[in-house]
A and B are shown apart, each in its own frame.
Chain A
Amino acid sequence: MIKRAYNWCAEHPSLMVALMAMVYYSLMSAKTYTWIFVSGDSGDWLASSTWWMVPQPMGSPLYILLGRFLNVFPGDLVVKMTILLSCLPGAVTVGLVCNIARTLTGRADLGVIAGGVLLGATIYLTQTTILEEYSIAIMFVVLGYWFYLRGQRKWTAVALALGTGVHIVVAPIFALWLIVEYHEWRKWLVPLGLYAVLTAGSYSLILVLMAMESPPLLAGYLNFDSILQYFTGTAGAVIGTGSIFDFPQRLALATGMLVVSLGLCIIPITYALGRPMARTTTLMVTTVGFALWFHLTSLDPVSWTFMCFGVPFMAVLGALGMSKLRMKHVRAVAIGAVALIVINCALMNAGQIAQERPEAGEYYEVIQGLPNGSAVMIYQSRYSLGLFYAMAEGREDLAPIVAFTAETPEKFADYLGWMEEEYGIKGNSTLEMLGSAYGQGRNTYVVGEAWFYDAIDRGMWPDLSTTFNLSRSGSNESWLHEVVGCTGLSSRR
């Protein structure tokens, strides 16, 4: 019986590795609302999974649909989304990596080691144990590659379309794959059509939400300008605009993160890059190159999460390199991977870290406890997304005054109109709205991290500090200030 079970496990190494990964990720995952590991966007995903609203650009329609689907069932949405949309896809990816490495090298042991390398990869672990969209998007990319290896182009396109529905960054990855495959362009025409239809279908949800006139907090109502502003507003200012003077530090950080994530596997990867390179390898190298480029040249310092798109392929490349090495070197890489799995267990346990650093949970509790009808001024950040989450969870009475610095209020016309209609708060600028809310007799708060107040104190936003008297509120003095006075408004209604 035991022998039969052992044989069965030996015949299905990918499945066994995936099951172990599922247990590992589930135990390590954060089961509370948290902002650790760059998961500040989780408030947005939770709000969009509860409340019909357009999430942040570029929309992630499939992800919020899955969130809404999970919300139908009883249980804590944070736990359901973390386990089923981060841990589970992460474990499936580990299994797929094992299978791909086994297929490419013809060796089951190297497949298992590649799966182990991915399981021990620190940066990848961060995204599989929190509520974020990367894990499931990466799973679809790796699944697409797996179908590609099997010669199933249509299924590759379907997997990548699903990935694009979760995160738009999968679209340029597919484009790069098509460039590598340009010799076979005729064979890709039908899959490409399929991809376009599925992607357009999923992203039409964003247009539907705009047309439904859901709260215009992150996008306006359906018109050409809103669509253009939504889809081009953020990315163009971040992607590829990192400063050349920041580059050395960024490169050092990225290299460090890859070294502590992949350990000794970095060495065999170099052996896999020799020429002539098979097209299957070129495809992986392209994906890794894109992921690295994205982070190294992005203005956003926390864009290291995008490197995770390359990590599963690095594990496979490591296995390819190991196939050229001696057994003692392969064993060293395997031991290194196991060491990382153990070290991460102690030091990168998201559940434990989330308990030790409960900023998000505390913020959520304080927002939930604000007096009825309060107005909260926030700038676009994890704080605004956390506020939307609290609003979606029954605090729709809170008036969200979103700080915007644009000189042209017509860009925010839908939002300004909605604020007036819903809350009676008028104004063409953040300060006018804050004054309007205070004048109405609402409890009015300004929320922001310490640097935000430092900036106000240094006069970077002189109107706010000279117009309003802000009082530090309770124990949350670092980020919650109450408006207790306002120049030009001698009496409150």
Chain B
Amino acid sequence: MMALYFPLREHMIGLERQNVAVSNLSTNVVLMLGMWGWINQALYTKIYQRVKKDSTAKPPLWHTWVSLSVGWLAIILWMSAWGMPLRF
């Protein structure tokens, strides 16, 4: 633990300039996309099971791709509206 402590101590004192890699792909976009996919699939699964009246039924795979595409578009529009830099 002390081997971790000393380098992190310098990091926390923080008087040196700390650089960050600016790239074309934001972590947040990936996270949001993943969450959108997860939430959407979970919601759709519930609706699908209710319509089919079968609590074990699984929705078709194509819906995942459609929902991810819609999610991707929604995130781009939202970020553009918010003025956040688009990093794709």
The verdict on B43 contacting chain A, using a C-beta distance below 8 Å, is: no
The verdict on B85 contacting chain A, using a C-beta distance below 8 Å, is: yes
> What's the minimum C-beta distance from B74 to chain A, rounded to whole angstroms?
15
A292-325 toward B: CB 8 Å interface, digit per residue (1/0)?
0100110111101000000000000000000000
The verdict on A245 contacting chain B, using a C-beta distance below 8 Å, is: yes
A256 and B8 contact, CB distance less than 8 A: yes
The verdict on A451 contacting chain B, using a C-beta distance below 8 Å, is: yes
The verdict on A232 contacting chain B, using a C-beta distance below 8 Å, is: yes
The answer for the CA separation of A36 and B22 in the assembled complex, in Å, is: 25
User: For B21, what are the chain A residues with a Cβ–Cβ distance below 8 Å?
Assistant: 243, 245-246
B26 and A122 contact, CB distance less than 8 A: no
B1 and A260 contact, CB distance less than 8 A: yes
A37 and B4 contact, CB distance less than 8 A: no
B1 and A243 contact, CB distance less than 8 A: no
User: For A451, what are the chain B residues with a Cβ–Cβ distance below 8 Å?
Assistant: 17
User: For B50, what are the chain A residues with a Cβ–Cβ distance below 8 Å?
Assistant: none
**Interface bracket on A:** 35 or more
User: For A247, what are the chain B residues with a Cβ–Cβ distance below 8 Å?
Assistant: 27
A260 and B30 contact, CB distance less than 8 A: no
Interface residues of A in 349-380 (CB under 8 A from B): 353, 357, 359
The verdict on A335 contacting chain B, using a C-beta distance below 8 Å, is: no
A223-266 toward B: CB 8 Å interface, digit per residue (1/0)?
00000000010001100111111110000010011011001000
A263 and B1 contact, CB distance less than 8 A: yes
B26 and A241 contact, CB distance less than 8 A: yes
A243 and B25 contact, CB distance less than 8 A: yes
The verdict on A348 contacting chain B, using a C-beta distance below 8 Å, is: yes
Q: A297-B26, A300-B20, A343-B5 are in contact. Are A241 and B87 (CB under 8 A)?
A: yes
Residue of B nearest to A347 (CB): B9
A244 and B25 contact, CB distance less than 8 A: yes
B13 and A36 contact, CB distance less than 8 A: yes
User: For A35, what are the chain B residues with a Cβ–Cβ distance below 8 Å?
Assistant: 14-15
B84 and A240 contact, CB distance less than 8 A: yes
The verdict on A126 contacting chain B, using a C-beta distance below 8 Å, is: yes
Of A236, A253, A263, which one neighbours B8 at CB under 8 angstroms? A253
Interface residues of B in 1-60 (CB under 8 A from A): 1-2, 4-5, 8-9, 11-15, 17-23, 25-28, 30-31
> What's the minimum C-beta distance from A117 to chain B, rounded to whole angstroms?
15
> What's the minimum C-beta distance from B12 to chain A, rounded to whole angstroms?
6
B14 and A38 contact, CB distance less than 8 A: yes
B83 and A299 contact, CB distance less than 8 A: no
The verdict on B82 contacting chain A, using a C-beta distance below 8 Å, is: yes
A241 and B11 contact, CB distance less than 8 A: no
User: For A256, what are the chain B residues with a Cβ–Cβ distance below 8 Å?
Assistant: 4, 8
The answer for the CA separation of A297 and B34 in the assembled complex, in Å, is: 14
Of B8, B27, B31, B87, which one neighbours A260 at CB under 8 angstroms? B8
The verdict on A397 contacting chain B, using a C-beta distance below 8 Å, is: no
User: For B15, what are the chain A residues with a Cβ–Cβ distance below 8 Å?
Assistant: 35-36, 357, 359
The verdict on A123 contacting chain B, using a C-beta distance below 8 Å, is: yes
B82 and A302 contact, CB distance less than 8 A: no
> What's the minimum C-beta distance from B32 to chain A, rounded to whole angstroms?
8
> What's the minimum C-beta distance from A460 to chain B, rounded to whole angstroms?
14
User: For B26, what are the chain A residues with a Cβ–Cβ distance below 8 Å?
Assistant: 240-244, 297
Sort A-B residue pairs by CB-CB distance and give the 8 closest, nearest first: A240-B28, A243-B23, A301-B18, A244-B25, A297-B27, A246-B21, A297-B28, A301-B20
Ordered by A's residue number, 23 sampled pairs between the chains whose C-beta atoms are within 8 Å are: A38-B12, A237-B84, A240-B26, A240-B27, A240-B84, A242-B27, A243-B23, A243-B27, A244-B23, A244-B25, A246-B21, A246-B23, A246-B27, A247-B27, A253-B11, A257-B8, A259-B4, A260-B4, A263-B1, A297-B27, A304-B11, A348-B9, A449-B17
